[in-house]
Structure 1
Amino acid sequence: MTRRTSRETRTVMMLVGVVLTMGALSWAAVPFYNWFCRVTGFGGTTQVATQASDVTLEEVVRVRFDANVDKNLDWTFRPMQTRMDLKIGENGLAFYEAINNSDEIITATASYNVAPEVTGFYFDKIECFCFTEQTLKPGERIEMPVSFYVDPELVNDTDASWIRDITLSYTFHRTEPKQAALDADRVDNVN
């Protein structure tokens, strides 16, 4: 093998390695970004808690509720309360309402965030309809709860300690139902 052929082979192998590396990084970008947002609260991504806070402060935070629907989803979706005043660390329970206005069974998933974005790291959800897909039959109406609290550590963050108004926002998007939901629906229709 000549020196030139050897060099060309190395160059081709390096280029193939670069392409494979770029492909792997592209594939991993979305899961990594989602993980990063969940861990840091980046972009207003809220946290998930397994239990309520054990510390409640006397300071009050106002949580406003917002609801949106993707243009491809024929649902009415709205908060059942527009705001809630809570002590920081106090557990809140809010409800949203969804109505399927179409003549078909529709499955949808809610994306969410809070504003200002810096509060995402301190906004903890214990239970939320946004953790799972929601399937509604034609004309069906449901009330969906979200249990949450604002972490008392908020007052110790120099970038967020002044914030006392937080907006929790959801947007429902149409999704393809999971096979288990389709199977359950078929069983319901047979019975």
Structure 2
Amino acid sequence: MSDEQTKKAAEASSRNRNAAILCLALVGGMVGMAYAAVPLYQLFCQVTGYGGTTQRVEQYSDTILDQTITVRFDANTNGVPWEFEPVQREVTMRIGETKQISYMARNLSDKATSGTATFNVSPARAGAYFNKVECFCFTEQELQPGESYDMPVVFFVDPEIVKVPELKNLKTITLSYTFFPLEKKAPVAAAPNSNANQNDNLGG
């Protein structure tokens, strides 16, 4: 083999090696993005309220309006042998006012079981203005056989909601939780199972 042929063969081998390294890097990056997708999507939803995801805050509203709104509470289970329900079905409150309500869970099985809850609000666009100061979402809960557990939720509706043309006349918001077993991966947000008609909620 001539020197020129040897040189060309070496260049071809180098190109193939570089292409292989690039492909491995791309595959590794795609795998990393796949693992990061769920927590990043969850963070995005919590920051923006996308898809009806409520907001998590650490302070109360300093403005309370005379306008009232009704918040309904929905409870569902998917794979956990629990009785799960809100202690009260709805509350009417002033916009900006802080309220505390509770959900109750009871283990109906004869063994200890664990679950975690996802949440959502309806209509979805109201999620950006539904602020929770305290809640049990995404927290692992373990119940012994027959054990009951009271889970409080502290929240308020941001007064900024009245500045949104599509929401300024909103009369009802539905807060929904769904409990999943820890062995089964829960989705980012569970769609509310409510009989409320979103169109009826707007404007009266």
Normalising by the residue count of structure 1, what TM-score does the alignment of the two structures yield? 0.85
2:24 matched to 1:16?
yes
Matches within 5 A, 1:109-120: 109-120=116-127
SS at match of 1:130: coil
Which residue of 2 is the match for residue 61 of structure 1?
69
Runs (4+) of structure 1 moved beyond 3 Å? none
Match of 1:103 among 102, 110, 125: 110
Note the alpha carbon deviations across 1:60-91, whole angstroms, 9 max, x for none.
11111000011x21110111111111111011
Per-residue CA deviations over 1:168-189 (Å, capped at 9, x if unaligned) read 000111226xxxxxxxxxxxxx
Task: Tell whether the 8 Å contact from 2:118 to 2:138 is kept in structure 1 after alignment.
Answer: no
Q: 2:140 aligns with which of 115, 126, 133?
A: 133
Aligned amino acid, residue 140 of structure 1: E
Which one of 38, 60, 66 corresponds to residue 30 of structure 1?
A: 38
2:82 to 75, 87, 92: 75
What's the Cα RMSD here?
Answer: 1.6
Q: How far is the alpha carbon of 1:26 from its aligned partner? A: 1.4
CA deviations 1:7-47 (Å, max 9, x no partner) are: 32232222222212212221221121111011101111111
Code of the residue aligned with 2:89 in structure 1: it is T
- What's the counterpart of residue 165 of structure 2? 158
CA spacing shift, 1:7–1:159, aligned 2, 3 Å: farther
Give the number of the structure whose alpha-carbon radius of gyration is greater: 2
1:123-160 C-alpha deviation (Å, 9 max, x unpaired): 11111122532222111122221110001111112343
Distance of 2:147 and 2:32 partners within structure 1: 43
Q: Where does residue 148 of structure 1 map in the other structure?
A: 155
1:6 paired residue among 3, 14, 23:
14
Residue 137 of structure 2 aligns to a residue whose secondary structure is helix
Structure 2: which amino acid aligns with 1:11? A
Which region of structure 1 is more displaced relative to structure 2, 111-120 or 11-20? 11-20
Q: Percent identity?
A: 45
Q: How many residues align?
A: 175
Which of 72, 85, 93 in structure 2 is aligned with 1:86? 93
| Residues in 1 aligned to 2:80 and 2:138: alpha-carbon distance in whole angstroms | 19
Moved more, 143-152 or 19-28: 19-28
User: Match for residue 52 of structure 1?
Assistant: 60
Unaligned segments of structure 1, at least 5 residues:
177-191
Q: 1:155 to 1:32 in 2, by over 3 A?
A: same
